[in-house]
């Protein structure tokens, strides 16, 4: 596909829940700097795919390689430490902590300073600076001291992406970042994601086709746990099977 | 900040000179409050910061108490009084924590409770720990040439050590590590997802809390001059939990206020009626229902939130 070796290489990934297969033999190859959208109807296995990549679920069979090394079966924190970060479909923040602290905790994740028992937070400039930079890029710089639980829904969604971004990942997985957002908020989020540095490879689950078309280099369509189609947005859109199972229903 | 520092300094000074203005009984009450305050604060590190409800904290209180009793009978030195109890308690916390942090919620409560009750059953039965009578006639140590058998010296020693323990815990909860604990309390799953090896932080918190509880237990032995299996009993853990909750979780000084409220209420009410536990229970219920933030929460509500 491209000259560079893939950042993420998934081979024959399968996950059963009892007798039901949520994901069935999915293979994926994501190139460095690529922005890939995963689309598909509800229950297609999109979030399960994310959970398998990040170690929140163990695959029944199949392999996952990140940056050339196997990560199959690693616990979530170890996957995160290798440079994969994710945002969640349902907002998953530290509601009683300030916005700055939400971002700082992510930026400082498991770093040298985290085991410092007697020092002060201010002693570690890098996580604080990173937190502020991320707050700016997700458009929340004005509300650093606000408690996360008191932010508006749209702001919480922005912060949700911000927390994932603050860990400085090589690969960012976004699970429906615009879910439940107003059209204006969705636009703002899309612009923010477009503005992310290209070094961050992006894998995004998204239902909003405007977001997908403006953001994704390539699109993978999942259906009943299998890859139904893959290609550019226009190629996928023109695929009659995709039209039938997904786009047709959405209009 | 400066106001606060002066306030804390004044409080420590007041506690230090208390024997000069008060009789023997109030001084004993204050010392009891100080010892239990340290124990409750160490539990607050788990309960109020890491969100770990341990119902077996008495294990470390008892270990500290018994190690101090055994060691002081051998040689009455600071090593026996403080270093050894702290080390053994830390080691015990490492082992108990290693198994307990694997589970959470009710299972964590049950497991920690089970461990502490094992210690109780053991101490209650074996001869070398004095079985049900415990260890009595424990001498107070000599420290830096000071004889702690002297009442004034012992009081000052207690105040200084309690202030030190409070200072250590205060630094810990404000450190980067303390902030990680708060993150775990708030949302363990997200901490894991951004890259924290959550179990390691929980274990470290458990060991720190256990170590300080061990020191509290040792101070208790030195204060009373004896230790009994009751130190291990689940009611010891339960009383510390009550103190923390009455005082206000996640504040440290709430734990000390809770210890004061608990002990003062106990001594006050028990001089009028045998049913002091009933009054205490009622107080606890009222607090949980109407002041879920404890004494500190109620105070903050009145003067407005500062922190």
Show residues of chain A in contact with B174, CB under 8 Å: 120-121
pLDDT higher than 50, residue B307: no
Tell me which chain B residue has its CA closest to the CA of residue A119.
B175
User: How do residues A86-110 score in pLDDT, each as one tens digit?
Assistant: 999 999 999 999 999 999 999 999 7
Q: Does B170 touch chain A (CB under 8 A)?
A: no
Residues A210 and A231 in one domain: yes
pLDDT higher than 50, residue A240: yes
- Residues B246 and B284: beta-carbon distance below 8 Å: yes
User: How do residues B226-264 score in pLDDT, each as one tens digit?
Assistant: 999 999 999 999 999 999 999 999 999 999 999 999 999
Of the candidate ranges A25-39, B10-24, B96-110, the one whose mean pLDDT is the lowest: B10-24
Average pLDDT over residues B218-229: 95
**Residue A241 domain-assigned (yes or no):** yes
**Residue A111 domain-assigned (yes or no):** yes
Write the residue in A92, A115, A120 that is nearest to B190 by C-beta: A92
Residues A7 and A51 in one domain: yes
Q: Does A171 touch chain B (CB under 8 A)?
A: no
Task: Kindly give, in sequence order, each residue whose CB lies less than 8 Å from that of residue A149, ignoring residues fewer than 6 positions away.
Answer: A93, A95, A96
Task: Kindly give, in sequence order, each residue whose CB lies less than 8 Å from that of residue B3, ignoring residues fewer than 6 positions away.
Answer: none
Average pLDDT over residues A118-138: 92
Which of A51, A110, A134, A175 is the best mutation test for B, with the most CBs of B within 10 A?
Answer: A110
Q: Does A86 touch chain B (CB under 8 A)?
A: yes
Which of B236, B242, B237, B239 is CA-nearest to residue B295? B242
pLDDT higher than 50, residue A116: yes
Tell me which chain B residue has its CA closest to the CA of residue A112.
B176
Q: Does A85 touch chain B (CB under 8 A)?
A: yes
Helix, strand, or coil (residue A52): helix
Of the candidate ranges A204-213, B160-169, B262-271, the one whose mean pLDDT is the lowest: B262-271
Q: Per-residue confidence at A249, pLDDT binned at 50, 70, 90?
A: low
B194 contacts A80? CB cut-off 8 A? yes
Which of B102, B188, B194 is the best mutation test for A, with the most CBs of A within 10 A?
Answer: B194
- Contacting A residues, span 204-243, partner chain B, CB-CB under 8 Å: none
- Residues A228 and A216: beta-carbon distance below 8 Å: no
Q: Per-residue confidence at B105, pLDDT binned at 50, 70, 90?
A: confident
Write the residue in B179, B189, B197 that is nearest to A105 by C-beta: B179
Q: What is the DSSP letter of A23?
A: E
Say what the pLDDT of residue B305 is.
45
| The two structure tokens encoding residue B253 | 């000084």
- Residues B197 and A77: beta-carbon distance below 8 Å: yes
B193 contacts A54? CB cut-off 8 A? yes
pLDDT higher than 50, residue A251: no
Tell me which chain A residue has its CA closest to the CA of residue B179.
A105
B196 contacts A163? CB cut-off 8 A? no
pLDDT higher than 60, residue A125: yes
- Residues B138 and B71: beta-carbon distance below 8 Å: no
Helix, strand, or coil (residue A222): strand
Q: Per-residue confidence at B299, pLDDT binned at 50, 70, 90?
A: confident
Average pLDDT over residues B117-136: 92
A119 contacts B175? CB cut-off 8 A? yes
Residues A130 and A9 in one domain: no
- Structural domains in chain A (count): 2
Residues A70 and A94 in one domain: no
To the nearest whole Å, the CA of B147 is away from the closest chain A CA by 32
- Residues B256 and B40: beta-carbon distance below 8 Å: yes
Write the residue in B180, B193, B208 that is nearest to A114 by C-beta: B180
- Burial of residue A249 (CB within 10 Å: 0-12, 13-18, 19+) is exposed
Task: Kindly give, in sequence order, each residue whose CB lies less than 8 Å from that of residue B190, ignoring residues fewer than 6 positions away.
Answer: A88, A92, A93, A94, A163, B183
Show residues of chain B in contact with A105, CB under 8 Å: 179-180, 183, 191, 194
SS3 per residue for chain B: CHHHHHHHHHHHHHHHHHHHHCCHHHHHHHHHHHHHHHHHHHHHHHHHHHCCCCCCCHHHHHHHHHHHHHHHHHCCEHHHHHHHHHHHHHHHHHHHHHHHCCCCCHHHHHHHHHHHHHHHHHHHHCHHHCHHHCECCCCCCEECCEECCCHHHHHHHHHHHHHHHHHHHHHHHHCHHHHHHHHHHHHHHHHHHHCCCHHHHHHHHHHHHHHHHHHHHHHHHHHHCCECHHHHCHHHHHHHHHHHHHHCCCCCHHHHHHHHHHHHHHHHHHCCCCCHHHHHHHHHHHHHHHCCCHHHHHHHHHHCCCC
Which of A94, A100, A91, A98 is CA-nearest to residue A160? A91
**Residue A193 domain-assigned (yes or no):** no
**Residue A34 domain-assigned (yes or no):** yes
Q: Which range marks the domain in which residue A129 is found?
A: 90-168
Which of B1, B49, B175, B176 is the best mutation test for A, with the most CBs of A within 10 A?
Answer: B176
Q: What is the DSSP letter of A73?
A: T
A114 contacts B177? CB cut-off 8 A? yes
Average pLDDT over residues A214-229: 93
State the ipTM, two decimals: 0.92
pLDDT higher than 60, residue B304: no
**Residue A195 domain-assigned (yes or no):** no
Write the residue in B175, B183, B193 that is nearest to A80 by C-beta: B193
Of the candidate ranges A4-18, A19-33, B95-109, B291-305, the one whose mean pLDDT is the lowest: B291-305
Write the residue in A80, A92, A96 that is nearest to B195 by C-beta: A80
Mean pLDDT of chain A: 91
Residues A4 and A79 in one domain: yes
Residues A181 and A154 in one domain: no
Q: Per-residue confidence at A212, pLDDT binned at 50, 70, 90?
A: very high
To the nearest whole Å, the CA of B155 is away from the closest chain A CA by 28
Residues A68 and A116 in one domain: no
Q: Does A66 touch chain B (CB under 8 A)?
A: no
Cα A51 from Cα B106, distance rounded (Å):
26
- Residues A95 and A148: beta-carbon distance below 8 Å: yes
Residues A72 and A178 in one domain: yes
Select from A143, A168, A193 the last residue of a domain. Answer: A168
Show residues of chain B in contact with A76, CB under 8 Å: 192-193
Q: Per-residue confidence at B19, pLDDT binned at 50, 70, 90?
A: confident
% of chain A surpassing 70 pLDDT = 96
Write the residue in B176, B194, B201 that is nearest to A124 by C-beta: B176
Considering the entire predicted model, what is its pTM?
Answer: 0.92
**Residue A191 domain-assigned (yes or no):** no
**Residue A100 domain-assigned (yes or no):** yes
Write the residue in B177, B182, B189 that is nearest to A115 by C-beta: B177
Q: Which CATH number belongs to the domain containing residue A61 in this structure? A: 3.40.50.300
Residues A1 and A79 in one domain: yes
Q: Per-residue confidence at A247, pLDDT binned at 50, 70, 90?
A: low
- The more confidently predicted of residues A204 and A246 is A204
User: How do residues B167-203 score in pLDDT, each as one tens digit?
Assistant: 999 999 999 999 999 999 999 999 999 999 999 999 9
- Residues B243 and B262: beta-carbon distance below 8 Å: yes
To the nearest whole Å, the CA of A132 is away from the closest chain B CA by 17
Show residues of chain A in contact with B173, CB under 8 Å: none
Residues A102 and A128 in one domain: yes
Q: Does B150 touch chain A (CB under 8 A)?
A: no
Count Cβ–Cβ pairs < 8 Å, chain A vs chain B.
92
Residues A64 and A123 in one domain: no
Task: Kindly give, in sequence order, each residue whose CB lies less than 8 Å from that of residue B145, ignoring residues fewer than 6 positions away.
Answer: none
pLDDT higher than 80, residue B306: no
Report the Cα A78 to chain-centroid distance in Å. 16
Cα A211 from Cα A215, distance rounded (Å):
6
Query: What is the CB neighbour count within 10 angstroms for residue A80?
Result: 27
User: How do residues A62-93 score in pLDDT, each as one tens digit?
Assistant: 999 999 999 998 999 999 999 999 999 999 99
Which of A87, A105, A113, A121 is the best mutation test for B, with the most CBs of B within 10 A?
Answer: A105
Cα B282 from Cα B260, distance rounded (Å):
17
B171 contacts A117? CB cut-off 8 A? yes
Residues A4 and A42 in one domain: yes
Q: CA A105, A108, A114: angle at the middle one, nearest 5?
A: 95
Tell me which chain A residue has its CA closest to the CA of residue B173.
A117
To the nearest whole Å, the CA of B108 is away from the closest chain A CA by 21
Average pLDDT over residues A171-197: 93
- Burial of residue B62 (CB within 10 Å: 0-12, 13-18, 19+) is buried
**Residue A192 domain-assigned (yes or no):** no
């Amino acid at each position: 596909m491209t000259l560079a070796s893939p950042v993420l290489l998934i081979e024959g990934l399968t996950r059963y829940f009892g007798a039901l297969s949520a994901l069935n033999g999915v293979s994926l190859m994501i190139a460095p700097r690529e922005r890939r959208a995963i689309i598909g109807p509800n229950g297609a296995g999109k979030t399960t795919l994310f959970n398998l990549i990040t170690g929140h679920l163990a695959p029944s069979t199949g392999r996952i390689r990140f940056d050339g090394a196997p990560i199959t079966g690693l616990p979530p924190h170890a996957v995160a430490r290798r440079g994969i970060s994710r945002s969640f479909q349902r907002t998953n923040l530290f509601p009683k902590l300030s916005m700055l602290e939400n971002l700082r905790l992510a930026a400082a994740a498991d770093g040298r300073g985290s085991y410092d028992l007697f020092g002060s937070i201010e002693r570690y400039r890098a996580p604080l600076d990173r937190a502020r930079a991320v707050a700016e890029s997700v458009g929340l710089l004005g509300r650093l001291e606000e408690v996360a639980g008191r932010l508006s829904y749209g702001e919480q969604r922005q912060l949700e992406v911000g927390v994932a971004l603050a860990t400085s990942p090589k690969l960012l997985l976004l699970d429906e970042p615009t879910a439940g957002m107003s059209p204006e908020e969705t636009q703002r989020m899309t612009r923010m994601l477009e503005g992310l540095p290209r070094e961050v490879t992006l894998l995004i689950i998204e239902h909003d086709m405007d977001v997908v078309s403006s953001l994704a280099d390539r699109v993978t369509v999942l259906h009943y746990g299998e890859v139904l189609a893959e290609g550019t947005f226009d190629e996928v859109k023109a695929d009659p099977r995709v039209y039938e199972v997904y786009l047709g229903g959405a209009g | 900040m400066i106001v606060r520092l002066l306030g804390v300094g004044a409080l420590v000074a007041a506690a230090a000179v208390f024997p000069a203005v008060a009789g023997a009984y109030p001084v004993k009450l204050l010392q009891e409050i100080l010892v239990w305050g340290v124990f409750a604060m160490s539990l607050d590190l788990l309960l109020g910061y890491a969100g770990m409800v341990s119902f077996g904290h008495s294990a470390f209180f008892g270990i500290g108490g018994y190690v101090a009793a055994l060691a002081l009978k051998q040689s009455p030195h600071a090593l026996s009084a403080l270093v050894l109890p702290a080390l053994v308690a830390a080691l015990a916390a490492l082992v108990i924590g290693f198994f307990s942090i694997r589970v959470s919620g009710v299972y964590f409560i049950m497991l920690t409770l089970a461990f502490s009750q094992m210690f109780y059953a053991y101490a209650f039965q074996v001869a070398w720990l004095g079985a049900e009578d415990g260890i009595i006639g424990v001498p107070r140590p000599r420290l830096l040439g000071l004889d702690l058998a002297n009442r004034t010296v012992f009081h000052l020693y207690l105040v200084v050590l309690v202030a030190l323990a409070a200072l250590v815990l205060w630094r810990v909860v404000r450190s980067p590590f303390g902030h990680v604990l708060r993150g775990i309390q708030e949302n363990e799953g997200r901490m894991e997802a951004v890259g924290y090896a959550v179990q390691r932080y929980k274990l470290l918190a458990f060991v720190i809390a256990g170590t300080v509880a061990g020191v509290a237990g040792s101070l208790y032995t030195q204060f009373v001059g004896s230790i009994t299996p009751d130190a291990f009993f689940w009611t010891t853990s339960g009383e510390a939990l009550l103190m923390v909750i009455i005082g206000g979780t996640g504040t440290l000084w709430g734990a000390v206020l809770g210890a004061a409220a608990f002990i003062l209420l106990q001594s006050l009410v028990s001089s009028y009626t045998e049913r002091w536990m009933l009054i205490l229970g009622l107080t606890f219920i009222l607090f949980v229902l109407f002041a879920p933030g404890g004494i500190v929460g109620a105070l903050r509500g009145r003067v407005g939130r500062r922190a």
